[in-house]
Amino acid sequence: MNSAISEFARVGFHQAKISDIVANAGFSQRTFYIYFKNKEALYMEILENWKNKLTQQFIIGRNDPNNQTNIRRRWEEIFKFMAYNPDYTRAVYFMNPYVEEIRKDILNSLIQTMTSGQENQNLRKNISIGILAESTLATIESLTLRYVLNGKESSIFLAEQISDIYLNGVAQKKS
């Protein structure tokens, strides 16, 4: 899998060749076809694993009574996950020919988590969960691409900044 992830991150899905993947992994194409029907089947397995691991980050700390700590921790875990293996994140998200499908799945997971947050009175009832989920995913994508994958900022710093923005807004409070 690691060889495939590296190759997909290096050249993208369409340009990746099974012969290069198996050569880097040290096994034959015959062995490859025992486990996978084709390159797409391999890619889809990698994609599903990544998506499932990412969506698990949305529910970390759900039972934490301190909502502010819970939100910061979720952001931190999301950015840590994205940074853990930058090739994995690049290959399955940013160089993904199926990106719209995976975005839809991630959005649905965010909507479920946020709806639960509204029901538990952790999120305001008068905000659109759809808009909140879209803006959250856009934030994850943008900050991951600009700061996480190239190591410009730490997951902790980004989590603190985004949590502060989400929890306290951006307007200066008047004394």
Give the burial class of 51: count Cβ atoms within 10 A of its Cβ; 0-12 exposed, 13-18 middle, 19 or more buried. middle
pLDDT in tens, 93-121: 888 888 888 899 999 989 998 898 888 88
* Residue in 44, 175, 167 with CA at minimum distance from that of residue 117: 167
In whole angstroms, give the CA distance from residue 18 to residue 104.
28
Domain boundaries, the chain: 43-168
In whole angstroms, give the CA distance from residue 102 to residue 49.
12
The residue whose two tokens read 């952790």 is 122
pTM higher than 0.85 for the full model? no
pLDDT of residue 57: 84
Length of the chain: 175
| Ranges of residues in the chain whose predicted pLDDT is under 50 | none
pLDDT of residue 135: 95
Structurally, at CATH architecture level, domain 43-168 sits in: Orthogonal Bundle (1.10)
pLDDT of residue 134: 95
What is the token pair recorded at 12? 């993208």
First to last CA, the chain: 56
pLDDT of residue 71: 83
